[in-house]
Structure 1
Amino acid sequence: MPVPPSVAALERLAARSWRGLEEAPYGDWLLRAGGGFTGRANSVLVLGDPPADLPDAVDAVTHWYTRRGLQPRAQVPGPGNEEADAAFDAAGWAHHDEVLVLTAPLTGWAETAVQVSLAPTPDDAWLAGYRYRGTPLPPVAAAVLANADEPVFAAVRCDPEPAPLAAVARGVLVDGWLCVTAVTVDERHRRRGLATAVMAALGAWARDRDGHSCLLQVAQENTPALALYARLGFTEHHRYHYRLGPQA
C-alpha cells in the first residue's frame, strides 16, 4: 500500500464517498446536510481553519444547521483539530460517538464460494437489507446512498424472494481507495462468512479499476466488526468523534 495519507487527506477523500445532499465550504471546513440521515452527511467536517474566529465559527455552524431544521453536528477527526474541538466544547456541544477509521491494502483477500451480486443502484431489497444502526432506512436514505461517483451495491441472497437479502454493502472508489460503508448481515445469516464475502467482492471490483487500498469507519464499541476487519488486515489510521449542538 502507498504511504498512508494524512488525517486531513484521508477524511477529505472519504467525504467524497459519502456526501450530503447539500454541501458548502466554510473556509477549510465543509458543511453538509442530508435530511438527517447519518452523521457524516449531516455534520460539518472540521479540518483546517474556518473563515472566522473559532467562537464565531461555531455560532455560524449552529445557525446553518438550525435554519435547515437539523441538530448542529460537527465531525472532528484527530489528531490535528484539538483547538476547534475545544471551541465546540466551550460552546456546550456534547461529545458523541468515537469512530475508528481503518485502512488496509487490497491484497490477500481470498474470494469465497458465496455468490455476491453487484449493482450500480440500490433496489428495494437492498434498501430493506441495510439496517442503519439497526433500524429501517428513512425515505431520504436512497438519495444519500446514491450521491457519489459510480457507487456499487453488493448483495447476497440465500433464500428466494420475497425473503430478505442475507447481506449487503456499498463501495465507492475514490483516487484508488475503496471506501466501504453499509456492511449489514441479516441476523439469521450471521457467522457464515457473508461479511467477508461482500468485502472480497468489493475488493475484486476495486482492484479491477486500479484500486490499491481500502478504508472504512467502525464505531469503537462494535467489537465483532473490528475483529472481522482485523482478520482482513485492517489497522487503525486515526479516529474521529462528533460534537452535538443544541437541538433545533
Structure 2
Amino acid sequence: MGQSRSPLGVADLERVATRGWRAPEEEPLGGWLLRAAGGFTGRANTALVTGDPGRPLPEAAEVVTAWYRARGLRPGVQLPGVQSRAAGAALAGLGWERSEDVLVLTAPLAPAPDGVPVDGVPVELAPSPGDDWLALYRADVDPGTARAVLARADRVVFAAVRPAPGGAPVAVARGVVTDDWLGVSAVTVAEAHRRRGVGTAVMGALTRWAVGQGAHWVYLQVSASNAPARALYRRAGYVEHHRYHYRWAP
C-alpha cells in the first residue's frame, strides 16, 4: 500500500461504510439516516448526519429522540467531518454528550501474488462468523444480534487464525467489499498472541480476498485513543481521511 488521496469525500465514504455495516432497521430523515440494531455498536444504532435533515435542527433532534426511544435505545448521532459541525453545535446546546474522536483511515490496495502465504501464518476465511469467532471479538453481546449486522452484506468474509485445526481462534477480522472499497473491522487479537504477526496476517488475507473481489481502496476506523493501532496502520501506509464522533441524548 502506498499513500494516496482517497477518491471519495467524507459524506460519500461514510455512505459506503454504512452500506458495509448495515443495521437491520434503517430509515431516512432527509439527508440523515436513522439506524437501529438492538444496541450492537454505535455505528448501527445512531443517526448518520450527512446533508440536510429537511427540517430545523431542533426539530430533527426531536425526531431522532422519538425514533430511538420508541425502540428502547438511547438516541445518538454520528457526526463525521466538518460538514456536521452545525448539527453537533446544535445538539451540544441541547445537552447531548460527546464521545471521543474516531479516525477513518484509508489506503489504496495493491494486489498480492496468488499462492504466497501471508507472513507464513495460515488464515481461514469463512462466509459467516462462528460462535468462537464472535466470542473472541465481542463475548459481551448476543450472537444473534451481532450476526444481524455482521453478516448483512453480499460480499463479506470473516478471517480467523487458529493455532490448531478446529481450535479456538487467536485473531479475527471482518472484511466487506462495497463498490470498489474494502471495509475492515472487528480486528481482534488475543492478548497472549499479540506482536506475533497474526493481526498483520489477517489484514493481508482480507486484502488479497478484496483484490479478488475487484476492490481498489480500503478503509477502517480506529479510536483516537488507540495509539498502538494507529501506529500500526500508519506503518502500513494508511492515512487519515476524516474523523467522526457520536453525541448521545441526555
TM range (shorter): over 0.9
Query: Is 1:241 aligned to residue 239 of structure 2?
Result: no
Counterparts of 2:23 and 2:103, CA distance in 1: 21
Identity %: 56
Letter of the 1:167 counterpart: A
Alpha carbons 1:116, 1:156 under 8 Å: kept? yes
Deviations 1:149-188 (A, max 9, x none): 2210000001454x53110000000111100000000111
Match of 1:145 in 2: 150
Point out where structure 2 has 5 or more consecutive residues left out of the alignment.
none
SS of alignment partner, residue 129 of structure 1? helix
SS of alignment partner, residue 8 of structure 2? coil
RMSD between superposed Cα atoms in Å: 1.6
For residues 50-129 of structure 1, what are the structure 2 equivalents within 5 Å? 50-107=53-110, 111-129=118-136
Query: Is 1:21 aligned to residue 28 of structure 2?
Result: no
Shift of 1:108: 7.3
2:39 corresponds, among 28, 36, 57, to: 36
Point out where structure 1 has 5 or more consecutive residues left out of the alignment.
none
Alpha carbons 1:130, 1:136 under 8 Å: kept? no
Letter of the 1:46 counterpart: V
SS of alignment partner, residue 100 of structure 2? strand
Counterparts of 1:55 and 1:136, CA distance in 2: 35
Counterparts of 1:2 and 1:219, CA distance in 2: 21
Letter of the 1:222 counterpart: N
Alpha carbons 1:73, 1:244 under 8 Å: kept? yes
For residues 181-220 of structure 1, what are the structure 2 equivalents within 5 Å? 181-220=185-224
Alpha carbons 1:130, 1:137 under 8 Å: kept? no
Query: Is 1:223 aligned to residue 227 of structure 2?
Result: yes
Deviations 1:176-228 (A, max 9, x none): 11000000001111110111100000000011121111000000011111111
Shift of 1:4: 2.5
Query: Is 1:11 aligned to residue 14 of structure 2?
Result: yes
Moved more, 222-231 or 234-243: 222-231
Match of 1:164 in 2: 168
Query: Is 1:154 aligned to residue 154 of structure 2?
Result: no
